[in-house]
Structure 1
């Protein structure tokens, strides 16, 4: 019996091919073991570029030969857990956008308790979804290659994202870094 990975973490730079790779992984699992493909979209159409990206992703999923259910939840992702069952394959795209939404759409001052609560809420939401679904594939941007000094907001964001990435890789059955469309195994056995 093939063990289905319950959490797959995929990171990479902007336009690295990580979302396409994540979609292929989800389809591979659905083809091998069955299950409903679900796309948990965290993007908010806040500007023309983001509207174009969201529309392109939607069109790509509709035009494909696989039937994706799209769930739009820009924050508090734990709210969708009750809608899921053990046959759902969830692709969460992406953690960096989710973190943006949790931080910047709040009226809260960026105190340490607030920042910790944001990180905890994201991890808790991911765990809730993971515990209800067959497989959860989490996509995130790798933004920590550049120095983060000089800007307090950028440094704080990078620190929180780094913490979330570390916790996700620790929890994950498989973890990949995608560079120029090539997935590099960070953790786990590939079947």
Structure 2
């Protein structure tokens, strides 16, 4: 099996991260073939979120490339058995996945739980990476501003930062998207 790649894309809300990720995935599919899989973590919790989900689905279905969309708000690693070497997977997004994992269970919120959530997300993404030809992971950059709020806000920021650091360490490329413009933060082997 050829070495798979991981591309990590972060940026502010509505910065163009998802569009950039879709563009990169389509370019990879154009060069190497393979099935485009959109692994969506969003849950339609309100009307605005439903509209965003519908818009993203519409954008993908209107293009020249056929996307397989899988809605998986938690435990994304359970999908790894269905992944093949030619797959190009786009995970959108880690911030939503972390939120879903934290609030999808009635477990006691202690350090053991937080570690298991963090490890589950990282292990899930890396297990998909090992099976796929490429995985592109999108996440929001929420750590550039001071975290103001409750202990939960600080905890969320800490966990997200740890997840980001691990994924960037494993990534072949890491991009920061600002107003639709990608800034290369890491690039291995180019």
**TM-score class normalised by the smaller sequence:** over 0.9
Match of 2:133 in 1: 134
User: What do the CA deviations read for 1:94-124 (whole angstroms, capped 9, x no partner)?
Assistant: 0000000000122122200000000000000
Matches within 5 A, 1:1-150: 6-150=5-149
User: What do the CA deviations read for 1:50-107 (whole angstroms, capped 9, x no partner)?
Assistant: 1111111111111111100001110000111111100100000000000000001221
Runs (5+) with no aligned partner, structure 1: none
Q: Is this contact kept in 2: 1:94–1:139, CA < 8 A?
A: yes
Shift of residue 145, structure 1, vs aligned partner: 1.2
Runs (5+) with no aligned partner, structure 2: none
Q: C-alpha distance in 1, partners of 2:75/2:4?
A: 24
Q: Is this contact kept in 1: 2:4–2:129, CA < 8 A?
A: no
Q: C-alpha distance in 2, partners of 1:100/1:135?
A: 25
Shift of residue 150, structure 1, vs aligned partner: 3.9
Q: C-alpha distance in 2, partners of 1:185/1:4?
A: 21
Provide runs of 4+ in structure 1 moved above 6 Å: none
Q: C-alpha distance in 1, partners of 2:61/2:22?
A: 13
How many residues matched? 189
Q: C-alpha distance in 2, partners of 1:109/1:82?
A: 30
